[in-house]
Homo-oligomer: A and B are copies of this chain.
Amino acid sequence: MSEILDIAAVLSRLLKAENILLICHKNPDGDTVGSAAALYWMLKALGKKAAILCSDEIPARYEYMQIELFEGQFEPKYKVAVDVAGIQLFGDGIAEYTKEINLCIDHHPSNPGYADGLLLDGDAAATAEIIYELIVLSGVEITPMIADCLYTGLSTDTGCFKFANTTARTHEIAAKLILAGANLIKLNTILFESKSRSRLAIERIALEHLEYFMDGRCAFICLTKEEIAESGAESSDLEGITSMPRMIEGVEVGITIRQQPTGSYKVSVRTVPGVDAAAICAHLGGGGHKQAAGCEILGSLDNAKSALLTEVEKALCTES
């Protein structure tokens, strides 16, 4: 188990540290990249050597953070995991650097405490909120660059202040970052106003397959493995699709079925409050949360569909 640290203790350790390696989680998102980049710029302002390591490539849309990737330019002496909820999220190919982690800064309550020291704030909407407090405490100026990095973390982890994790503090920090020079227009365009061609291609197929059941209370999208392959959609594109059917006016249960390369069907169930998604999936060997759950079904698509619809019908009858 990790030693639990507060922000002051973390700052004191970082001030003593040299040659600092900042490690992001695999499939890097805006929060792990933005938080690590903000920390990087803070450490540079303090005269430290630092660089960022990630098992996967950092998406090109984040290039404005001018990230210095670790490429052996120094011998790492202090390793910090940023927004990495568990060691399985370090990804492949960087094991020589992730065996002993000195410090972890995270906001996932499930973090098991794999690092020597842990700064965890499960109420923070994003790790970027914690890094913001840390930089303020350090006395390092929040430059427009640091503001851009932190805004990226804050806004992407909250779906641009839309998700349920958004708090008053999230908005308060966003205000400070704007005053510090965050380039809102540029960032919001890059982060929230662009879609890949493959994402649009799979959206088109999804909309063509959209079916309504139970007087429009259940919406259903099914994608075959051939359609997924043809669209070129990546897993993040497909994740985005799963929220579509539930968003339709009047729909209480939105279901997305994606055929896997092996032929089985991966089912995502999204519900409005009052309808239990986990219960629907539990009867089919799956599980999850009240409003978002999943399961995997073998056999034919028709069987998968009718098994699901039976469970949905039951759930809608017992609606609380």
Question: A residues within 8 Å of B by Cβ?
Answer: 160-164, 166-172, 174-176, 178-179, 184-185, 188-189, 192-197, 200, 203-204, 207-208, 210, 216, 243, 246-250, 272
Contacts and interface: CB of A to CB of B under 8 A. Distances in A.
- 6 nearest A-B residue pairs (beta carbon): A204-B207, A171-B175, A168-B178, A168-B175, A171-B174, A171-B171
A6 to B, nearest CB: 23
A132 to B, nearest CB: 13
A193 B210 CA distance: 17
Contact of A160 (B161, B184, B195): B161
Interface of A is mostly: helix
A162 B192 contact: yes
> How many copies of this kind of chain does the complex include?
2
- Most chain B beta-carbon contacts within 10 A, residue among A161, A163, A216: A161
Contacts of A194: 247-249
A30 to B, nearest CB: 14
Contacts of A163: 188
Given A162-B160, A162-B192, A162-B193, A200 B169 contact: no
A172 B178 CA distance: 11
Given A161-B161, A166-B184, A247 B195 contact: yes
A161 to B, nearest CB: 5
Contact of A184 (B164, B169, B175, B246): B164
Contact of A174 (B161, B193, B196): B161
